[in-house]
Amino acid sequence: MSKKKIVIEPDPILRKKSQSFEKVDKEVQRLMDDMLETMYSAPGIGLAAVQVGILKRAIVIDISKEDEEKKPIFLINPEIIYKSEKTSVYEEGCLSLPGHFAEIERPTECHIRYIDYFGKTKELKADGLLSTCLQHEVDHLNGVLFVDYLSKLKKDMIIKKLVKQKKELDKIVL
Ligand code: GNR
Ligand code: NI
């Protein structure tokens, strides 16, 4: 397995729509293994392929706590087939927006159809943090970031800070 570099906003790739997979093979499994390693090392509870620069519809998630057994979920071509009317608010973060957090309202419950690590079609009913995380990751596959749900003022403030952070980094690397 190998850890990959995480793409930070602003970057045009994060705004592109990811493409579906035709089949699940060794190459897809290798990508998901790399994504999982990258996510654990960040650390984060979810990661979409676009965040490591690959515009494909793959997601890895693990919401298990530090002191618990790891429970990774691999999702290929995920589709949200149900969203509840009821909504919940969670404080969200994103590995592509490091250091920034905001309360985001989303449907409390969602049902997802996806293809698993072994190429089998499955369905998952989620609520709580898992539901929020799944919706956050599916948004990534469609070029959407959590800041898109904020007011223009808040969003612009966060993007401005990220541009500044990137410029500071460039200075150090030079
Ligand atoms: O690590 C992450 N934590 C998180 C917290 C609340 C809601 C969503 C997330 S996903 C995020 C990792 C990430 O950026 N995934 O795309
Ligand atoms: Ni994210």
User: Domain of 155?
Assistant: 12-170
- Asked if the structure places residue 22 within a domain, the reply is yes
Which ligand places an atom closest to the C-alpha of 44? 1
What are the Cα distances from residue 54, in Å, to 36, 85, 108, 122, 164? Answer: 14, 33, 29, 23, 25
Residue labelled with tokens 């956050």: 136
Number of domains in the chain: 1
User: Does a structural domain hold residue 2?
Assistant: no
105 catalytic residue (yes or no): no
- Identify the segments of the chain with pLDDT beneath 50: none
Q: For a pocket test of ligand 1, which of 40, 65, 136 has the largest count of ligand atoms closer than 8 A to its C-beta?
A: 136
Give the number of other CB atoms < 10 A from CB of residue 123.
11
Is 106 inside any structural domain?
yes
Q: Tens digit of pLDDT for each residue in 47-58?
A: 999 999 999 999
What are the tens digits of pLDDT across the range 34-83?
Answer: 999 999 999 999 999 999 999 999 999 999 998 999 999 999 999 999 99
**Distance between Cα 174 and ligand 1 center (Å):** 30
